[in-house]
A and B are shown apart, each in its own frame.
Chain A
Amino acid sequence: MSNINRRDFIKSAGILMAGTALPLSTIEMVFADSQQNFTFAYISDSHIQHIKGKQFVRNWDRGLMRAVAETNLMDPKPDFVIYGGDLAQLAKKSEIDHGLELLSGLRHKTYYVMGEHDYYLDLGEYWESQLGPQYYSFDHKGVHFVVLNSILTYDDWTYNRWSSGEERMNVMAGLDNPNGSPFMVGEKQRTWLKADLAKVDKDTPVVVFSHSPLQKLFKNWNFWTEDAEQVQALLQPFKKVTVFYGHVHQIQYNQIGNISFQSVMATAWPWPYPKTYAQAPNYMPKLTVDMNRADPFFERDATGWQFVDIHNGNAAMHYSLANNSRRTVAFNTQTGRPEDMKYQDHRIPPQTHY
């Protein structure tokens, strides 16, 4: 480890754990058919940010270290870990290296998703050299998993407007920067996806990981995927589809036809809900019970990581939230949509955002 040595890392992870209210070993999944049911952990949006020399923003480092330490305490162990993108803040080698070093503490096979903060400096070149292809699929215990790079955009924006990769990265890194550009999966990947899915039986549960929502929710902050409808059309023929995404740094869930959508929290910082911006319309799902409002006096508040259990192809997302009680949003087979297990019809005051 170049920036913090291994002993320091384990020591600080231990201190972090001492401060956690819930022992993670209380997570126990009860499965009817243990063959087909499993859990995986999901860590996302750490935004490791280089200051200078060996200095990184302490707050963001802490968020990722805590998620890694807690994931390692899961019992039973998760089958694998998904890292949901935006490991870095400005896609610098130093940031990706430092982030991967913190993640190297994980004792599990980890799959990576590309975020825009990992990409727009060198169009994913360094990320790919460390982590492999930007989109791929795999099968696990009867479920077909697909990982997409959904943060591409128009070629004209990517290739023709900027004097350097740094300039391009800086613009895309500003969530509310009006000179940004909408995310998309793009034709090349959609063609690949179509071919990939052609080999899969329509009864096989399909789980897709993307960084952006694969829905159109709020264009101003790129809670948006420009070709969402085309991607959804490829997924709709399957009976059970779940799309998991990062990027939004908040709890969101939705159901469109056969597709369930669920977002994950960031380990770095929470984002406001689009309705809190008074100057632009949004298309956020009514179904979502919002996360609790963040208390800025606790730097880890409204950040977290999550674990997912898949039973009979349906997903339940368990949000492990610093300074907040855990939340579970699970697919309800009666209503055919994801619902919060506790708050769906009983919202509490901190869940009101304005």
Chain B
Amino acid sequence: MYIKPGHFSILWLALGSLILVSSSAFADEFTKADLERWQQEYLTVVKQGREVFTDPNLGNNGVVCAQCHPNGANIHPETYPKFQQQLGKVAPLWEMINWCIRNPLEGKALSADDPRMIALQAYITHERRGVKLAPGKH
């Protein structure tokens, strides 16, 4: 990890206060309640992803992803990264998502860390859960 010099002391201050507040919470010890909360956080983003996936305002023509990809089908997140002939390179999932936002939705591409882009990937991957990873597959 790279820490900017100026932030160094702030980090130590933060750590120090953490140790003071909850001395029992070691990083390698988490409870069932923690697990449930993390799952809940994840599912909340999956749900937001479904909302983006069906949002007529994501693009500019009212078309939504779910119109062509019911339940996120035919998106194959397990095959990424993979070579895309028309892009002429190996691409990650989010670049292909942007391709569909720009073309069928006639919209503007999202940045890779846009919360909507992350939510879209969470939803798409969730609908594909249980399928074996197959990077590069066409």
Give A residues with C-beta under 8 Å from B. Answer: 49-51, 55, 57-59, 174-176, 220-221, 269-272, 276-280, 294, 296-297, 299, 353-354
Q: Does B71 contact A (CB under 8 A)?
A: yes
> Within 8 Å CB of A220, what residues of B?
70-71
Among B56-102, those with CB < 8 Å from A are 61-63, 66-71, 73-74, 76, 85-86, 96, 99-100
> Within 8 Å CB of A59, what residues of B?
63, 104
- Indicate if the CB atoms of A279 and B62 lie closer than 8 Å: no
Chain B interfacial residues counted at CB < 8 A: 26
Residue of B66, B86, B104, B128 touching A175 (CB-CB under 8 A): B66
- Indicate if the CB atoms of B99 and A296 lie closer than 8 Å: yes
> Within 8 Å CB of A280, what residues of B?
71
Give B residues with C-beta under 8 Å from A. Answer: 54, 61-63, 66-71, 73-74, 76, 85-86, 96, 99-100, 103-104, 106, 127-131
Residue of B63, B68, B100, B131 touching A271 (CB-CB under 8 A): B68
> Within 8 Å CB of A270, what residues of B?
68
- Indicate if the CB atoms of A57 and B62 lie closer than 8 Å: yes
- Indicate if the CB atoms of B71 and A51 lie closer than 8 Å: no
Q: Output the least CB separation between B130 and chain A (Å).
A: 6
What 4 pairs across the A-B complex have the smallest Cβ distances?
A: A176-B70, A272-B74, A272-B73, A297-B86
Q: Output the least CB separation between B8 and chain A (Å).
A: 47
Query: A253–B124 Cα gap in the complex (Å)?
Result: 29
Residue of A57, A175, A176, A294 touching B61 (CB-CB under 8 A): A57
Query: A272–B68 Cα gap in the complex (Å)?
Result: 8
- Indicate if the CB atoms of A221 and B103 lie closer than 8 Å: no
- Asked whether A276 and B73 contact (CB < 8 A) given A57-B61, A174-B66, A175-B66, the answer is yes
- Indicate if the CB atoms of B67 and A272 lie closer than 8 Å: no
> Within 8 Å CB of A297, what residues of B?
85-86, 99
- Indicate if the CB atoms of A174 and B54 lie closer than 8 Å: yes
Residue of B68, B76, B86, B96 touching A269 (CB-CB under 8 A): B68
Q: Output the least CB separation between B52 and chain A (Å).
A: 14
